[in-house]
Amino acid sequence: MFTHTVRLELDQTFLDKETIMNTPVFKFNGIEDFECWISVKRSLLAGITLSLEFNVLNESMPDQDILRYHLTLVTVAKTEGGKELVMYSNAVKARDLAPHCYINGKITLVSTATYTRLCVVNNDVKMYAIQLLPHEVMQFGDQNCDMKFVIGNGSISAHKAFMSLISPVFAAMFTHNTKEAQTGVINITDFDCSTVKAVIDLLYSRLFKPKSYKEVMEVLRFAEKYIINAAVDRLEKWLTHNVTPENFNAIVEYAWNHSSDKLKDVCARYYQQHVDFEFRQIDPVILGEMVKLIK
């Protein structure tokens, strides 16, 4: 187990407005495969939110979602009565933190990040995890699929029940007296067939290997339109770890057009780290908002 402790002091200036502050990047002692930082966000609606963020530096590391399970954040704040308010988990929301912990003109937080390395035990018997993915269990023959997406001259089959589970939009289509419920056909006119196929592959746990950020953005746009939140989260994570000078402007535009706080934060941090580059195509208003995010 590896730990790293950060002391944060939030003054009235931070508490009076909506803002985001990131701590300096740190690594766990002896671990060079990834780096971390704590993001502190002040929201008038949610209060103070602390989250442990990380960036993988070694491509041989396991899937980032697996790595996240081995990272935890515990934050301690002292209250006016001398007691300690302890907040657990990787993302800590403390709506009522300020009233209880505002002492001598500031709030003092002590956040401890912990990385628990995956242990491998060698036994005589080899233990393997067993997993069945949706596309391995579900049948896709004409007699098994009860719906299809029609895109121009092409079509892609799927299952009403499954699509209804993952999207409230599809659920509404199939549980009301609609044309889609009667025919089992959803006509898609604003996405091409390759995008819809990529979406269906991703949802059924088939491997999605994007060839460009534009392809990811189109799949993300589909997932947002139909409120497929799990896919939105995973695709945004892909973009946050694949920002380059070449695609930066496009990701900035997407982040602001789609009001993605996650992508906005990443773009602001990237801009701060590459401020010497010329980002001429960025809207001055958006540029001003990015500067505010990194202050």
pLDDT at 89: 54
pLDDT at 12: 77
* In CATH, 137-294 is 3.40.50.620: no
pLDDT at 98: 58
Q: What are the counts of helices (DSSP H) followed by strands (DSSP E) for the chain?
A: 13, 11
pLDDT at 195: 95
Within 10 angstroms of residue 195's Cβ, the number of other Cβ atoms is 19
Within 10 angstroms of residue 192's Cβ, the number of other Cβ atoms is 13
Q: Give CA–CA dist 28/31, Å, rounded.
A: 5
pLDDT at 200: 92
pLDDT along the chain (295 residues), means of 10: 88 80 91 89 76 84 72 82 65 56 81 77 59 75 84 91 94 94 95 94 88 94 95 92 89 91 88 73 84 80
Contact assessment for residue 40 and residue 23, using Cβ atoms and an 8 Å cutoff: yes
The DSSP letter of residue 26 is B
pLDDT at 125: 56
Q: State CA 260 to chain mean position distance.
A: 10
Q: Give CA–CA dist 110/210, Å, rounded.
A: 40
Beta strands in the chain (DSSP E): 2-11, 19-22, 34-43, 47-56, 71-78, 84-87, 91-94, 106-115, 147-151, 154-158, 185-187
pLDDT at 288: 86
pTM for the model: 0.55
Q: Where are the domains of the chain?
A: 2-132, 137-294
Angle between helices 193-203 and 213-225 (to 10 degrees): 70
